[in-house]
Amino acid sequence: MEMDRIKFKGLKQSICAFALLIAVSTAYSMDVIVSDVLSGDGEDNFGTTFSQSGAMGTIIEIDLNNFTALAVSSGAFAQSVVNDSVSMLLTAPTGFLISSVKYSESGIGNTTAGFGSASGAINVGGKPNNFPTAIINPGSTLADWSFGNTTLVNDLSSVAVNITNVISAIAFGVGDSSEVTKTMAKLEIGLTAVPIPPAIWMMGAAITALVTVGRRGGQAS
């Protein structure tokens, strides 16, 4: 009987270890990690700070620093072009892989005496993806504009992202003005759960079988 109790205690310890291994393999508590954030190329209109929300921090909103193109004409024509870029490294939470990166941005335009535009591109893990150009037509007042796209990746534990943007405002006529402002820039990260290796499931089945045999042996004695 004493030997049976020792064996059963060992089995319980094995079960606890297996349960801990499963819990670690399927952890949901960690967020997407955003690191190595750099704002470059232009006038630092992309900030290097951000906020995260959503399950596991998969929604990343990038802070903006007065990302505005303002053209004021003192003659027949005036143009303002503002560009900037931001780069970062995204790392998946424990137990997950990154499967997609969606980028979207939006803003407003005042082009009562001119017009404006916004464009750019994103590079995700070496995959370039251009944004469609948003046009703010002449005569617009507080016109909303937006665009974005989604880049699929091959289930990566981490991926480098680089975003470039250009906004432009053109004004016609003496004293006329045109303004284009970006108000939101956001990333949404798609995640795929890492499958539990078959070896772990086989280990669990073996432990279950041993427990069953151990219990039967204890009942028989």
Q: Tell me the pLDDT tens digit for each residue of 62-94.
A: 999 889 999 998 888 899 999 999 999 999 999
Pairing of β 158-172 and β 114-124: antiparallel
The answer to whether residues 151 and 204 belong to one domain is: no
The answer to whether residues 108 and 211 belong to one domain is: no
- Considering the entire predicted model, what is its pTM? 0.75
13 or 76, higher pLDDT: 76
- Segment (H or E) for 3: helix 2-25
The answer to whether residues 189 and 203 belong to one domain is: no
Indicate whether 192 pLDDT > 90.
yes
Domain range for 15 is: 2-25+198-220
The answer to whether residues 187 and 125 belong to one domain is: yes
What's the alpha-carbon Rg for the chain, to the nearest Å? 28
The answer to whether residues 128 and 213 belong to one domain is: no
Amino acid at 133: T
